[in-house]
Amino acid sequence: MTARDRGSDGHATQVSRKRLRVRDLLERGQITLDSPDDRLSPEDTLLAGEFLHEELRRGLVLHVSDVFEEHAFTATSWMQEGLSCIFFLDGAVDLRIGDRPFAFQGGPQGVINSAAIMTTRPESFERSSRTPQRLRHVVVSVSPEWLNLDAMAATSDSGNVARLFKDHLTDHRWSPPPRVAELVRQLISPSVFLPELRSLYLEGRAVEIVSETLAAIMHSETRANDSEILTRKDKLHLARAKEFIGANLAGSLSVEVIAREAGINASGLQRLFRLSEHQSLFEYVRNRRLERAFAILAAGECTVHDASLLAGYSNPANFATAFRRQFGMAPREAMSGRAR
């Protein structure tokens, strides 16, 4: 991820090159670069691939990378206040915003790791990659002014969103639903479109991503308020259960096994999921498996039969029914790009 670069007029500028050299990065201004490779010269390539950095309209900035970083490096710059919606598919990057560290890494089997970071004032920004790597990620950044004019009107409780901007460097981690995952993939690998439609294509998806991110933040706050009646021990049991489920989605899961790993009895665990997630443990596991199946199908990494087994269905017809009920489409439509 990069901080928003500013041109001489104060607006973000577009970067669209097949190769980014050391010289290219430094010429942007207000950026310093460091690398463990002492032989790195101004003409050396830092990264190669497809990448974009563009202000789609005032206060709405899109950054997309599908590149190979040829050197480990650290770039230091300055970050403006606002909301950054971050999605990592591949690669690992360490950030430091002000005095607070953050770590981002792509998930296994096409899973997208997502976060939203709020900054209430300009801060120093340091971005580091430790080794040469494949990097695929999307960042949509919006200013407080943009949110006040646009996103606030789309939220059911704009007061809560406004309060979020009082929490400097708040870090919200969340699992994007299939629609958001598909929007991210569309930005990384856009469909063929007329040049006249390019800006509309990018802006439409970026705005929807911001809207979905705000909705996720609001939903997490509502759940946090609901879960205040949970004890610290209850929350620990839930965290252990979710961690075990996430690590064993492809395996055999039962209430008894999950409860044992979480350190609680089966009925107690069921109660905690009803209270915290507003669904049964079975529904939670089923939905996580279906979401994983959707992500892998959309990425073209498996067949419908394999996805049905991953989701825990021995009968593909039953899988297709559950898939359609959850996502409004058949599994083969997700594979063919109809999810876009």
Residues 60-69: what's their mean pLDDT?
95
Residue 145 and residue 124: Cα distance in Å, rounded? 21
Q: Which spans in 254-330 are helix H?
A: 255-262, 266-277, 281-298, 304-310, 316-327
Residue 3 has pLDDT above 50, yes or no: no
Q: 171-211 pLDDT, tens per residue? A: 888 888 888 988 999 999 887 666 767 888 899 999 999 98
* pLDDT band (50, 70, 90) for residue 11: very low
Q: What is the mean pLDDT of the chain?
A: 83
| First-to-final CA distance of the chain | 24
**pLDDT digits over 22-48, tens only?**
999 898 878 999 999 889 999 999 999
- Residues 210 and 149 sit within 8 Å (Cβ to Cβ): no
Structural domains present in the chain: 19-226 (no CATH), 229-335 (1.10.10.60)
Query: What pLDDT, on the 0 to 100 scale, is given for residue 133?
Result: 94
Cβ–Cβ under 8 Å, residues 128 and 74: yes
Residue 153 scores a pLDDT above 80: no
209-243 b/e with 16+ CB inside 10 Å = b? bbbbbbbbbbeebeeeeeeeeeeeebeebbebbbe
Helix (H/G/I), strand (E/B), else coil: 184? helix
- Residue pair 218/158 in contact (Cβ under 8 Å)? The answer is no
